[in-house]
A and B are shown apart, each in its own frame.
Chain A
């Protein structure tokens, strides 16, 4: 039962409420009031969830094992997206976007590389044309923008 995710969630929420209370205590009294009240309510709800998990464990609850297993593929995608956010302004829009799309499609299991390269290039160029050229929305330089 201790492995159940809701149990860990309640502890995490309790920790967050304590952190919010501590950080808000450093503010002026007026702006600190609302976050501190929320932290208190959050702590009460966390304890309620904790008690509910201990007293009435429902059979449908997710276990940590299941959660970690289901997270594997999404974690790879998040890592790729994070890298994209970091390199976007350095590498340039087109190069990083083509690479991101190839990476995501490959991670999702798409195997036809030639098709993928064409679709990724066309999509990236179209996006750049729509945002930067037609709508005048500022995007990073198309190639090797540098800092």
Chain B
């Protein structure tokens, strides 16, 4: 509690608070620009934070992460173009509301819902992360190995239908990339081909910049070319009314906010599950709870549910990162990079060794969401008009330059620029082949922890694999792994049974 109070006081300092506000404004802008998102912005910002004090750097990054998620709803509502992937579902009811002349109300619902979801998840982060970190201090090599396996199994288990094999392939590719460099056991160089830059492994920040930033530019190139060929005209911004919500509407939306925030928080804590799953679950829940309403025609709950859920994922996805060192999703993997570049080690020791920074990050999520509310209401309308004036072709050029300069800045070497380009191409090819990115990133992060944990455990147990089920925490993690791995198989069995059940009465008729 003392650390939390200190963090609040630290964040109240004018310079720190100003950096937080700057981060929120930047997040709102990038979220509102279709083609830009939180991941790209964080990837670009991380090298810049390299020489900035952590108490300035992290509030900016947290502000961007919180606000970009909400900012994505602005073009989703006004133009039916999701600013970020997490706003895809918001278009379903947000755009029809805008067409009915309720654009302001839709933007207001999005703001209130995002703040509600964001605040709930920052409370979860505030109280759950230090608790989990406290328990994680008892972890030994077998627990770390089991944790790495659990992290990867959740990604695979939560993948879409028919995606399990490709998720596993993506995972193994990530693990193979993680083996590049000195072996964590013996220090023997592997797959380095005598390139000194690879001895410490593939540079992590340029890798992330490539996977997020460069990939997005390559995707943009493809999209722009396709649109030019199909002659798709840009949309017009409809008239926007007041974004303030009546007490009656807020009372009506409260159950949706509570349920959607709960869904977002639970999914956010699971490594790899991601925002997309949360927004679909939340929307589905809203549809089931409001059967009298025709969703897809401009129902306020259809905007409230995904917006509360996606912002609830934001802070809760930091719980596994800050407490266990495992990123909750791809964007929080970028925070891992930011922590590493500042010389901090995410995981249980973060709260024990550097409580000032750990709690500052936690508190920044809460304050960021508080700031986002009024700023969103104030700037939402202005920005929606301003951001659409920036041509995508120019933003593509600026992103490219930022990404490549940022990659160079990390190690002052053109090799890092090459790594960013190579991983940009890899990310683009992954998209084309429908190979998911999350398992790849998680496996790269967890690879060395997994290898070290496995072999240290086997040394401890003199080669016996029973060590992974004999220790209570380890056993729980192993059971979790089994559960997540079997989930898609169980789901498939249930679905085929349901299908057979649905067919039988027809055949008997």
Using CB atoms and an 8 Å cutoff, list the residues of chain A in contact with chain B. 5-6, 9, 13, 16, 20, 23-24, 27-28, 30-35, 38-39, 41-42, 45-46, 48-49, 52, 58, 62, 67, 70-74, 76-78, 81-82, 84-86, 88-89, 93, 97, 100-102, 104-105, 107-110, 116, 119-120, 123-124, 127, 130-131, 135-140
- Given known contacts A5-B433, A34-B451, A109 and B191 CB-to-CB distance under 8 angstroms: no
Looking at B190, B221, B417, B434, the one whose CB has the most chain A CB atoms below 10 A away is B221
Using CB atoms and an 8 Å cutoff, list the residues of chain B in contact with chain A. 47-48, 50-52, 162, 165-166, 168-169, 172-173, 175-176, 179, 183, 185-186, 188, 190-191, 214, 217-218, 220-222, 224-225, 228, 391-394, 396-398, 400-402, 404-405, 408-409, 412, 414, 417-418, 421, 424-425, 428, 432-434, 451, 454-455
Q: 17 A-B Cβ contacts within 8 A?
A: A5-B433, A9-B433, A31-B188, A45-B165, A62-B432, A62-B434, A74-B221, A74-B425, A78-B218, A78-B421, A78-B424, A85-B421, A89-B414, A109-B393, A123-B398, A127-B401, A139-B408
Contact B404 A81 (CB under 8 A): yes
Q: In the bound complex, what is the Cα–Cα distance between A120 and B414 (angstroms)?
A: 21
Residues of chain B lying within 8 A (CB to CB) of residue A105:
393-394, 396-397
Q: In the bound complex, what is the Cα–Cα distance between A81 and B213 (angstroms)?
A: 13
Residues of chain A lying within 8 A (CB to CB) of residue B48:
130-131, 135, 137
The smallest beta-carbon distance between A45 and chain B, in angstroms, is 5
The smallest beta-carbon distance between B324 and chain A, in angstroms, is 22
Q: In the bound complex, what is the Cα–Cα distance between A49 and B421 (angstroms)?
A: 28
Contact B186 A31 (CB under 8 A): yes
Contact A110 B172 (CB under 8 A): no
Closest to B450 in A: A34
Closest to B401 in A: A101
Contact A6 B433 (CB under 8 A): yes
Q: In the bound complex, what is the Cα–Cα distance between A97 and B282 (angstroms)?
A: 44
Residues of chain A lying within 8 A (CB to CB) of residue B166:
49
Q: A32-B190, A35-B176 are in contact. List 7 more A-B contacts (CB 8 A).
A: A38-B175, A42-B169, A67-B432, A86-B414, A108-B393, A135-B52, A139-B408
Residues of chain A lying within 8 A (CB to CB) of residue B454:
34
Contact B409 A137 (CB under 8 A): yes
Residues of chain A lying within 8 A (CB to CB) of residue B190:
24, 27, 31-32, 35
Q: In the bound complex, what is the Cα–Cα distance between A42 and B166 (angstroms)?
A: 11
Q: In the bound complex, what is the Cα–Cα distance between A84 and B217 (angstroms)?
A: 15
Looking at A20, A73, A76, the one whose CB has the most chain B CB atoms below 10 A away is A73
Q: In the bound complex, what is the Cα–Cα distance between A82 and B418 (angstroms)?
A: 7
Closest to A8 in B: B433
Contact A101 B405 (CB under 8 A): no
Residues of chain B lying within 8 A (CB to CB) of residue A100:
397, 400-401, 404
Contact B50 A30 (CB under 8 A): no
Q: In the bound complex, what is the Cα–Cα distance between A112 and B172 (angstroms)?
A: 46
Q: Which residue of the partner chain, among B172, B185, B405, B412, contacts A127 with CB atoms under 8 Å?
A: B405
Residues of chain A lying within 8 A (CB to CB) of residue B393:
105, 108-110
Contact B404 A49 (CB under 8 A): no
Q: In the bound complex, what is the Cα–Cα distance between A67 and B185 (angstroms)?
A: 41
Contact A77 B183 (CB under 8 A): no
Count of inter-chain pairs, beta carbons less than 8 A: 174
The smallest beta-carbon distance between A132 and chain B, in angstroms, is 9
Q: In the bound complex, what is the Cα–Cα distance between A86 and B225 (angstroms)?
A: 27
Q: In the bound complex, what is the Cα–Cα distance between A130 and B302 (angstroms)?
A: 42
Contact B47 A70 (CB under 8 A): no
Residues of chain B lying within 8 A (CB to CB) of residue A107:
221
- Given known contacts A31-B186, A136-B51, A74 and B401 CB-to-CB distance under 8 angstroms: no
Contact B185 A77 (CB under 8 A): no
Closest to A30 in B: B186
Closest to A110 in B: B393
Contact A97 B396 (CB under 8 A): no
Q: In the bound complex, what is the Cα–Cα distance between A46 and B191 (angstroms)?
A: 21
The smallest beta-carbon distance between B468 and chain A, in angstroms, is 16
Closest to A93 in B: B405
Contact B400 A81 (CB under 8 A): yes
- Given known contacts A30-B186, A131-B409, A123 and B401 CB-to-CB distance under 8 angstroms: yes
Residues of chain B lying within 8 A (CB to CB) of residue A5:
432-433
Q: Which residue of the partner chain, among A27, A52, A71, contacts B165 with CB atoms under 8 Å?
A: A52
Residues of chain A lying within 8 A (CB to CB) of residue B185:
30-31
Contact B51 A97 (CB under 8 A): no
The smallest beta-carbon distance between A99 and chain B, in angstroms, is 11
Contact A119 B394 (CB under 8 A): yes
Contact A49 B165 (CB under 8 A): yes
The smallest beta-carbon distance between B197 and chain A, in angstroms, is 13
Contact B51 A28 (CB under 8 A): no
Residues of chain A lying within 8 A (CB to CB) of residue B52:
135
Residues of chain B lying within 8 A (CB to CB) of residue A102:
397
The smallest beta-carbon distance between B409 and chain A, in angstroms, is 4
Q: Which residue of the partner chain, among A13, A16, A41, A85, contacts B414 with CB atoms under 8 Å?
A: A85
Closest to B419 in A: A85
- Given known contacts A42-B176, A97-B405, A119-B394, A84 and B417 CB-to-CB distance under 8 angstroms: yes
